[in-house]
């Protein structure tokens, strides 16, 4: 993880990232919830400003209420309790493929300036330096949701000009690429990192820095990005998690397994 200003604060960067993820969800949206931090982001959104958001999980779960107990992962039994629907993976993916999912969340290991994501092969496929777990549903979420949000650690070796392998398509090599390859819709809307929040220029489809987290400077972000990063003229500071949001997160992640550090 990147070193931050060590000024005393009463929240962790993981909590800030989850809070930022939650704020990307609007009420009544259909959310394809990914693993780990996004799981908490969805629960936080449902508990605050988006009580009528509906969650779709690739295991074959649709639910519109909170699980009755904290869950570590989407397959935990409390997440099945009084689900709106328990079904097959193809059913959840069908909702996604027909265009019925507003927003999805995916984690990344390596990302490039057009939001293409690699979670498969670092170093390429012939000389594999590091084999990562692969797509899971991420490629599908990036291909088929109306928009997707990427959550990842902001480090120079992860923010590269061109990913070694496209597991989950972003905007390819720029504007028009998704239409050209035949993707029906979507594309990344936001990248939430350990340092800031980035969005995509609507003309060039290139990533631009939109906000920096409290204690993070513009320079820290550009130094940890592997290409000359564009910065929005009205760069803002990411809002801190509120006391209410922190209290809710503590309820969902009581041991701090996901957000403690």
Partner 1 sequence: MFLKFGHLEFDTVPKSKLMTLPESIDRFVPDGSSVAMCLCLESLIPFAAAHEIIRQRKQNLTLIGPISDILFDQVIGAACVRKVRAAWVGNVITGSCYNFRRAIESHSLEMEDHSNLTVAMALRAGAMGVPFMPARTALGSDLFKTNASLKTITCPFTDIPLTAVAAIKPDVVVVHVQRADEYGSAHAWGNLGVTRDACLASRHIILTAEEIVSPDVISRDPNRVITPGFRVSAVVHYPWGAHPSPVPGYYNRDHQAFIDYRNESKTPELFDGWQKRWVDNIQCYQDYLIALGEKRISELALKHHVMSETVDYGY
Tell me the chain's radius of gyration from C-alpha atoms: 18
* Nearest distance in Å: CB 7, partner 1: 29
Smaller CB separation from partner 1, 26 or 66: 66
- Regarding 128 and contact with partner 1 (CB under 8 A), the answer is yes
Residue from 70, 136, 214, 215 binding partner 1 (CB under 8 A): 136
Choose one: 48-56, 122-130, 194-202, 229-237; the region binding partner 1 (CB under 8 A): 122-130
The strand pair at 147-152 and 188-193 is best described as parallel
- Regarding 261 and contact with partner 1 (CB under 8 A), the answer is no
- Regarding 219 and contact with partner 1 (CB under 8 A), the answer is no
Could you tell me the two tokens for 93? 């993916």
Name the packing angle between helices 243-252 and 37-47 (round to 10°): 120
* Nearest distance in Å: CB 48, partner 1: 25
Which residues, in sequence order, are bridge partners of residue 159? 111
Number of chain positions touching partner 1 (CB under 8 A): 56
- Cβ neighbourhood burial of 199 (10 Å; 0-12, 13-18, 19+): middle
User: Which is it for the CA torsion 165, 166, 170, 172, positive or negative?
Assistant: positive
Cβ atoms 166, 117 nearer than 8 A:
yes
- State how far the Cα of 181 lies from the Cα of 122, in Å rounded to an integer: 24
* Nearest distance in Å: CB 73, partner 1: 5
Smaller CB separation from partner 1, 37 or 229: 37
Residues 62-101 touching partner 1, rule: CB under 8 A, are 68, 72-77, 80-82, 86-90, 93, 96-97
- State how far the Cα of 201 lies from the Cα of 34, in Å rounded to an integer: 25
- Regarding 130 and contact with partner 1 (CB under 8 A), the answer is yes
Could you tell me the two tokens for 245? 């949001």
Report which of 94, 149, 146, 155 is spatially closest to residue 122, judged by C-alpha positions.
Answer: 155
* Nearest distance in Å: CB 9, partner 1: 26
Residues annotated as catalytic (active site), given as ranges: 58
Binding residues for partner 1 (CB under 8 A) = 35-36, 57-61, 68, 72-77, 80-82, 86-90, 93, 96-97, 120-121, 125, 128-140, 143-144, 165-169, 172, 177-178, 181-184, 257
């Amino acid at each position: 993880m990147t070193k931050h200003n060590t000024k005393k604060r009463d929240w962790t960067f993981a909590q800030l990232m989850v809070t930022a993820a939650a704020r990307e969800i609007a009420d009544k949206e259909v959310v394809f919830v990914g693993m780990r931090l996004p799981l908490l982001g969805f629960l936080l959104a449902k508990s605050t400003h988006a009580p009528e958001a509906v969650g779709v999980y690739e295991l074959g779960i649709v639910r519109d209420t909170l699980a009755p107990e904290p869950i570590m992962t989407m397959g935990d039994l409390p997440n099945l309790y009084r689900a709106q629907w328990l079904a097959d993976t193809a059913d959840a993916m069908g909702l996604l493929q027909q265009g019925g999912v507003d927003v999805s969340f995916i984690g990344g290991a390596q990302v490039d300036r057009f939001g293409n994501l690699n979670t498969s092969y670092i170093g390429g496929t012939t000389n594999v330096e590091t084999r990562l777990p692969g797509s899971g549903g991420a490629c599908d979420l990036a291909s088929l949701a109306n928009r997707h949000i990427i959550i990842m650690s902001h480090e120079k070796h992860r923010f590269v000009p061109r990913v070694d392998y496209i597991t989950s398509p972003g905007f390819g090599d720029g504007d028009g690429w998704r239409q050209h390859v035949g993707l029906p819709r979507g594309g990344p809307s936001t990248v939430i990192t350990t340092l800031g929040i980035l969005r995509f220029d609507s003309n060039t489809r290139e990533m631009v820095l939109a906000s920096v987290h409290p204690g993070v400077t513009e320079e820290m972000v550009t130094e940890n990005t592997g290409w000359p990063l564009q910065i929005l003229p009205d760069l803002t500071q990411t809002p801190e998690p509120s006391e209410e949001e922190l209290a809710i997160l503590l309820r969902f992640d009581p041991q701090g397994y996901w957000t403690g550090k």
